[in-house]
Amino acid sequence: MAQTQQSSTSAKPNDVRDRIFASALRHFSEKGFAATSLREVSFDAQTTKPMIYYYFRSKEGLYSSIVQEILEDMAVHIRQALPGQATASERLIAYCDRYLTYFLANENVIALVLREVFGLGGAPMATFAQTLGASVRQPLDEVLRAGMESGEFRKDHVFDCATAITGIMNMFILAHVFGGAEIDSETPLTQVRKYVSGLAPGL
């Protein structure tokens, strides 16, 4: 026990925070928010509960940090997948395709986050909504705005269009997570393409 305490106090701050984060992600993924205790998170991370409070302030703060990092990682992967030389329509579909494939590739963790966040509300839900809009949806806003400025898309409210497009994909994702419906990437993309066709000028 003394050896564990020594390692937690002598470790670099970033190492301690990273260990707490990894431990919490593992426990939250396996057991959910309510069934996970900070005692077991700290024990698994080879640190102490006060260190969790130091870095994350609370159990909800720790969970909110995990939610934020997952969504920011999703945003990075989406942005990297957007083709540089392509039409706005092609970039929009590429965005949606990566949005869906990222979920499918990380379904276990993201599905857990969705179930927990909707049940918890409060800070985790606020973090989810803010990061989803500020990070994950930002590339889509940029694609839509560029398409409208170039004349490829008719002039419209970017926020409304982005909400409609992500809403199509989220409808399929939530039906899968909460209702057990089958999901693939092509079915939602077909619906998105129909919506995008309505953005053509003159319609």
The domain spanning residue 159 has which CATH number? 1.10.357.10
Tokens of 61: 């703060």
pLDDT of residue 156: 97
What distance lies between CA 157 and its chain's CA centroid? 24
In terms of residue numbers, what domain contains 5? 1-56
Query: Is 135 in the same domain as 197?
Result: yes
Total domains, the chain: 2
pLDDT of residue 9: 41
pLDDT of residue 3: 38
CA proximity to 156, closest of 141, 166, 167, 171: 141
pLDDT of residue 90: 97
Cα separation, 71 vs 76, whole angstroms: 9
Write out the DSSP string of 101-139. HHHHHTHHHHHHHHHHHHHH-HHHHHHHHHHIIIIISHH
pLDDT of residue 44: 95
Query: Is 23 in the same domain as 119?
Result: no
Q: Which CATH number belongs to the domain containing residue 27 in this structure?
A: 1.10.10.60
Residues 6+ apart with CB under 8 A from 139: 75, 78, 79, 82, 95
- 10-residue averages of pLDDT along the chain (203 residues): 40 80 89 91 95 93 88 92 94 97 90 79 80 90 97 97 96 93 95 96 77
pTM over 0.85: no
Only one residue has tokens 């619906």, namely 191
